[in-house]
Structure 1
Amino acid sequence: MSYDNRRIHLIPQLDLLDDRTRSGLLRASKIFPLKVNSYVLENLIDWDAAPDDPIYRLVFPHQDMLTEEADHALTALETGALAAEDAAARLVEIRDTMNPHPADQTSNIPILDGMQIEGIQHKYRETVLYFPKQGQTCHAYCAFCFRWPQFIETSAPKFESKDNARLLAYLRGNPHISDLLLTGGDPMVMNARRLAALLDPLLDPSLAHVSTIRIGSKSLTYWPYRFLTDPDADALLDLFKRLADGGKHIAFMAHINHWREIEPEPVQAAIARLRQAGVTIRSQAPLIRRVNDNADTWRRLWSRQVELGIQPYYMFVERDTGATQYFGVTLAEAHRIYKGAISSVSGLARTARGPVMSTSAGKVQILGPMTVNGQKALALTMLQSRNPDTVHDPFLAKYSQEATWIDQLEPFDPVDTFPFGSKKGAA
């Protein structure tokens, strides 16, 4: 059973919440998208601890996510001060103030035959992101998700494509592309037949240069039965095995925010099936206040993932979009948490890189504070960049205890610029 913004009142567990929490959830859901299924409700959330349970916070919008402006708009709506059509337009205006497409994503859309290709982003030379139309939802939504405009109305464009042929033509014409990343939403909501129609053509010799297929997905922990008992689960695993046997590296980029998500037996069975099909599972997640903002949670998460055969990959900084004022942590705090976690795990878990900001210029890693000529600085480096010449070149910013994103930092030396050519950071 699945529930969304229109069916919140049917979620049976909401009766376990106090009136204030339930009321706040209903208000926040008028601004933010909500979707949750019975598996998450019954297996991942500790309802005795809600609303402070981390998985509850991960899934359900909360009153405190609302800005003052959004709160006032909802009050006007509730009191009848706005007509229905005016209220709907006002809610869109409120969402538009929340930076619906961070990191200038719309600038990454490539051109083929003189026209933009819908549903594709090409930010880095080697990697193309593809947003198949049928994959632009999820089994459940994360309240912090930076792709929230894919799921609710804003004036920003949605990324989606139903034309696999144009994707394949673009890949054939760009032999330097080695990685195709299916993203969304969640591609694992698509059935195996549609996925095969998209991915099987990559086995053609003309696309041999596309050696890695990445799949960004939360399905492993939000709906593990996708790989176990769904009607086409076997067909899906057969597709992965066929691609792996054909020489493709299948990298399942699992979004796992908390160690409790990987404790249920169905999740561990799904992990085993994916690995048996030749799939490499890597994990990534942002650092989220009220969900995983302490070193011990990350230590336990990374250590358990290694035990289960998952490779820790990224700790991200929460992007500057949506309810970032509610979920975000400062860059200084993010580094303290990362250092505390990474220093307490074995070498096999230290594959996790972080804290990392996905900015318009590239992926910026926070290396940590240092002192230069008696002044405190923050050292950073580009892990990935639009300009490959800047990769792994360290640079310095003025130290800040308050900054939560790159655009709030300034170069340490006022005559310098950051590697991406700005006196302040790129958003």
Structure 2
Amino acid sequence: MTILLPVPDDWQAQARAARISTAGLLTHLGLTPADFPAGVIADPDFPVMVPPHFLAQIRPRDPADPLLLQVLALGQEARPQPGRLTDPLEEADYRAAPGLLRKYRSRALLIASGACAIHCRYCFRRHSDYGATMLTRAREAEALVAIAADPAIEEVILSGGDPLSLPDARLDALVTAIAAIPHIATLRLHSRTLVAIPSRVTEALLQLIASTRLSVVIVLHSNHAHELSADVAAAMARLRAAGATLLNQSVLLAGINDDAATIAAHCRRLFACGVLPYYMHLTDPVAGAAHYDVDEPRARAIDAELRAMLAGYLVPRFVREVPGRDSKTPLAAL
């Protein structure tokens, strides 16, 4: 039996309502553990989080729904997975100050929050100790001093978790402090929240984007056209009107978006929403997520097919993040 739940209008209420048990998620969708060959995990270490808006986009009674398979804790997570890591990108090696990662010459990344509106089961930071690594008010000054001391840094990237899990006032204060550093020209925010809770686009957020001297780039994280509801499209239009440049990054996921037709439909839908496809990431070797992997030969075949189907500006760049390299590595160079 499917249980219909109301979708709160307030984004913070949606975030609070995101915590749901595996059993509760299946009951809501009219499914049972027996619908999944490997079963499900009843109480995973990485909790199931699905905001009501995202949940409303999942097809009931469909165990193969591509949105459901991104958030449901499947039994494969508990199986032995040799060679899988809890820090697959070796981010501990790049910490330049509390909450600050320096992977790239001209960019600095701030772990602005440890919270996220939705828990994607393939997340490369699913094992992160955010209490030790994220930016806090007490640590902020040290991170900003480090950025200010290096004029090679032109862009500050807010990541997490999800930076848009921060309240508007806290986000405004952080962005204002970043904008006070003269050599920073661009602010980039990476967010899955905008797909999971499009009502996160508040008037205060729009005012922040419109008023900062920084060029604002927002990188949406969407993997499938079904995630891009009318509410998400409306939120993207408001962000663009405020002056933000909108890009999207996806992850290539087995059984979810690992065919050219599905990706092409997604790219067309993104463009209709005013969002330009940017990256298609191959999965990282994070512990618990091996069942999402798509091998490189398959990825190359999909990439080639997409190039024959779409205009070049609609084809995302297929890449893998390789620890120690000073940029993402194109699939062709792997």
Which of 169, 192, 202 is residue 218 of structure 1 equivalent to?
192
Quote the offset at 1:251 in angstroms.
0.7
Aligned counterparts of 1:321 and 1:144: Cα–Cα separation in 2: 7
Greater CA deviation, 250-259 or 15-24? 15-24
TM-superposed deviation, 1:30: 2.3
Distance (Å, rounded) in 2 between the aligned partners of 1:126 and 1:100: 27
Match of residue 294, structure 1, among 259, 267, 272: 259
Question: Which of the residues 120, 126, 140 maps onto 2:106?
Answer: 126
1:385 equivalent in structure 2: none
List per-residue Cα deviations over 1:303-348 (Å, max 9, x = no partner).
Answer: 2212221111101111011234200011111111122123211233
Structure 1 runs (4+) greater than 4 angstroms displaced: 7-12
For the 8 Å contact 2:121–2:289, the answer to whether it is kept is no
Amino acid at match of 1:18: T
Give the alignment of 1:395-406 within 5 angstroms.
none
- Say which of 183, 186, 208 aligns to 2:182: 208
Which letter maps to 1:52?
A
Q: Structure 1 residues 33 and 12 mapped into 2: Cα distance closer, same or farther (>3 Å)? A: closer
Q: 2:29·2:59 contact (CA, 8 Å) conserved in 1? A: no
Deviations 1:84-104 (A, max 9, x none): xxxxxxxxxx9xx84111121
SS at match of 1:54: coil
- What's the offset of the Cα at 1:252? 0.4
Q: Distance in 2 between matches of 1:297 and 1:208?
A: 43
Q: Match for residue 56 of structure 1?
A: 68
Taking a change above 3 Å as real, the CA distance of residues 307 and 332 of structure 1, as seen in their structure-2 partners, is: same
> What is the aligned partner in structure 2 of residue 16 from structure 1?
30
Residue of structure 1 equivalent to 2:92:
106
Tell me: CA distance 1:316–1:125, structure 2 relative to 1, closer, same or farther (3 Å): same
Task: Please tell me the root mean square deviation across aligned C-alpha atoms, in Å.
Answer: 2.2
Other structure's SS at 1:252 match: strand
- Matches of 1:235 and 1:24, distance apart in 2: 43
SS across alignment from 1:188: helix
**1:1-40: CA deviations, max 9, x gaps?**
52436x444447446112424893334x424432112111
Give the fraction of aligned pairs with identical amino acids, expressed as a percent: 25
Structure 2 unmatched ranges of 5 or more: 1-13
For the residue of structure 1 that corresponds to 2:50, the secondary structure is strand
Q: Does 1:255 align with 2:221?
A: yes
SS in 1 for 2:271: helix
1:4 paired with 2:19, answer yes
Provide closer, same or farther for how the CA distance between residues 210 and 261 of structure 1 changes in structure 2, counting only shifts above 3 A: same
d(CA) in 2 for partners of 1:59, 1:68: 20
Distance in 2 (alpha carbons) for counterparts of 1:15 and 1:273: 31
Query: What SS class does the counterpart of residue 312 from structure 1 fall into?
Result: strand
Match for residue 161 of structure 2 among 185, 205, 210:
185
What is residue 268 of structure 1 aligned with on the other side?
233
Asked if structure 1 preserves the Cα contact closer than 8 Å seen for 2:190 and 2:221, the reply is yes
Aligned pair partner of 1:283 in 248, 252, 256: 248
Partner of 2:321: 358
Distance in 1 (alpha carbons) for counterparts of 2:45 and 2:177: 40
Name the larger-Rg structure. 1
User: Tell me, what secondary structure is at the counterpart of 1:122?
Assistant: strand
The TM-score with structure 2 as length reference comes to 0.87
CA distance in 1, matches of 2:185, 2:223: 28
Length, aligned pairs only = 314
Q: How does 1:37-52 map to 2 (within 5 A)?
A: 37-42=51-56, 44-49=57-62, 51-52=63-64
Aligned to 1:424: none
The offset of 1:157, in angstroms, is: 7.7
1:114 matched residue in structure 2: none
Report what 1:36 is aligned to. Answer: 50
The answer for unaligned runs of 5 or more in structure 1 is 70-93, 111-116, 228-232, 368-379, 381-405, 407-427
Q: Report the AA paired with residue 33 of structure 1.
A: P
